[in-house]
């Protein structure tokens, strides 16, 4: 089966944005009626690839019920630690006030995902910037084994 998370060139087509926005408007109408929020997670292979795309969508939708799920490891594919830090910092600056949840996923510089704290995401900087931006929501980790969970929890707890 094809990888549902793999990049598809049609996602960069303006028609894909229009289709996604039309469907998001329908979903938001339901969310608003139910009094719940929807989260959009920028990811390199998706239509919404960046925090800037996410804030653009929020502005276009005009709804306080559309929020951002910010995962630092989804904001870049291949990067040096310095490049990753700058990309994540810019994303937090762009998304400030719209972040409902943050993910604690990591990535190696060659693009492979990593357990939190084992890759190039600067988690002390990430968490400090989230706090400085006024974020007080959940920080959720995923993509790790049960055996890794206690160490990852301890690592993240020290940063909170």
Listed residue (43, 44, 39, 49) closest to 17, CA to CA: 49
pTM over 0.85: yes
- Rounded to whole angstroms, the Cα distance separating 47 from 32 reads 23
How much is the pLDDT for 1? 56
Give the pLDDT score at 5. Answer: 73
Question: pLDDT tens digits, residue range 110-140?
Answer: 999 999 999 999 999 999 999 999 999 999 9
Kindly list the domain boundaries of the chain, sorted by start residue.
Answer: 9-159
Distance CA(134)–CA(156), nearest Å, equals: 18
CATH of domain 9-159: 3.20.20.150
Q: How far is CA 19 from CA 14, 34, 52, in A?
A: 9, 23, 18
Residue numbers of the chain with a pLDDT score lower than 70 = 1
């Amino acid at each position: 089966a094809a990888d549902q998370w793999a990049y598809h060139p049609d996602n960069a087509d303006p028609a894909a944005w229009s289709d996604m926005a039309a469907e998001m408007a329908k979903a938001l109408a339901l969310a608003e009626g139910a009094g719940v929020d929807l989260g959009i997670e920028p990811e390199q292979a998706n239509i919404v690839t960046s925090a800037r795309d996410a804030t653009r969508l929020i502005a276009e939708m005009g709804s306080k019920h559309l929020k951002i799920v910010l995962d630092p490891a989804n904001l870049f594919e291949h990067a040096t630690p310095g490049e990753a830090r700058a990309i994540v910092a810019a994303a937090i600056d762009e998304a400030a006030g719209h972040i409902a949840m943050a993910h604690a996923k990591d990535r190696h510089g060659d693009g492979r995902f990593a357990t939190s704290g084992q890759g190039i995401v600067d988690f002390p900087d990430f968490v400090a910037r989230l706090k400085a931006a006024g974020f007080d929501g959940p920080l959720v980790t995923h993509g790790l084994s049960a055996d890794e969970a206690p160490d990852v929890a301890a690592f993240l707890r020290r940063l909170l």
